[in-house]
Amino acid sequence: MSNRNDKEKQKVPKNFTYKYPRPALTVDGVVFGLSDEGLKLLLIERLADPYKGSWALPGGFVDRMDESVDDAIRRELEEETNITGLFLEQLYTFGTPDRDPRERVVSVAYFALVKPSDLNVQAGSDAKKAEWFHVEQLPDLAFDHADVVAKGLERLRGKVRYQPVGFELLPKKFTLTQLQTMYEHILGRKLDKRNFRKKILAMGVLRPLNKLSDTGGRRAKLYRFDQKNYKNLVKSGFNFEL
């Protein structure tokens, strides 16, 4: 009897609304791309005010009442950059009262790490341009997007030190030099070659192959990431840490 009464108390009239101000909700995408030139960031040039003509992160308002924030960021990325199917991770919620000159806006930011060569980036209906910029050479960004990017870099650089998230950006067969260069691009600093190789090989997450690289110059031994062994190591308490 009490359960029935509890359910009846929880019913809310269809026309019920709170008498409080309600901030607008947006989503922003911090999409990092790793190429031979280094770590890059995908930006769009805004078509409309505020900040018309300025560069910004792809994103926009969650203006569909039946849409989740996860669906909203995927829709915005497709509309503004022609990107679909990314694995996105929620980054942080930004809600400083004056972050948007139009009104009180709270934004849920997401981030991803991709290979730019795998994507066909094109400006969509909501953007004048969509381009990759090196993270060390970013233009002035609209809103508080510089803070959003800084938080994304912090999360990415922390994540790659404790999880092997960058291996999918390499060829299936790679050299230790390629692996080290990838980490240096993401971390934004040089790594000691001897210490890096000693540590990564001792982890047991790389499988050596009976092949040498066929690129020009000195040929080097090839490896591949052993995902199955990595999962078994994690189950036994292994911690990936560079």
Q: Any idea what the CATH number is for the domain that residue 80 is in?
A: 3.90.79.10
Same domain, 93 and 202: no
Same domain, 141 and 188: no
Is residue 240 situated within a structural domain? no
Neighbouring C-alpha atoms within 13 Å toward the C-beta of 25: 13
Is residue 16 situated within a structural domain? no
Residue 186 pLDDT > 60:
yes
Residue 158 pLDDT > 90:
yes
For range 192-213, the mean pLDDT = 93
- The amino acid sitting at 217 is G
Same domain, 207 and 141: no
> Is 132 in contact with 42 (CB distance < 8 Å)?
yes
What total number of domains does the chain contain? Answer: 2
Residue 214 pLDDT > 90:
no
Residue 43 pLDDT > 80:
yes
- The SS3 of residue 109 is strand
Query: For residue 107, how many other CB atoms are within 10 A of its CB?
Result: 27
Same domain, 138 and 194: no
End-to-end alpha carbon distance in the chain: 58
> Is 212 in contact with 221 (CB distance < 8 Å)?
yes
Q: Parallel, antiparallel, or unpaired: how do β-strands 24-35 and 105-114 relate?
A: parallel
> Is 88 in contact with 70 (CB distance < 8 Å)?
yes
The CATH number linked to 175 is 1.10.10.10
Residue 92 pLDDT > 70:
yes
**What residues make up the domain containing 225?**
162-235
Burial call 150-170: b when 16+ CB within 10 Å, e when fewer: ebbbebbeebbeeebbbbebb
How confident is the model at residue 229, as a pLDDT? 94
pLDDT one-digit tens code per residue, 120-148:
999 987 899 999 999 999 999 999 999 99
Nearest alpha-carbon partner for 56 in 96, 34, 29 = 29
How confident is the model at residue 2, as a pLDDT? 53
How confident is the model at residue 219, as a pLDDT? 79
CB-based contacts of 74, cutoff 8 Å, min separation 6: 84, 86, 88
Nearest alpha-carbon partner for 89 in 151, 29, 158 = 29
Residue 67 pLDDT > 90:
yes
What is the pTM for the complete model shown?
0.89
Residue with tokens 């600093």: 189
How confident is the model at residue 86, as a pLDDT? 95
> Is 143 in contact with 62 (CB distance < 8 Å)?
no
Residue with tokens 């039946």: 66
Same domain, 192 and 137: no
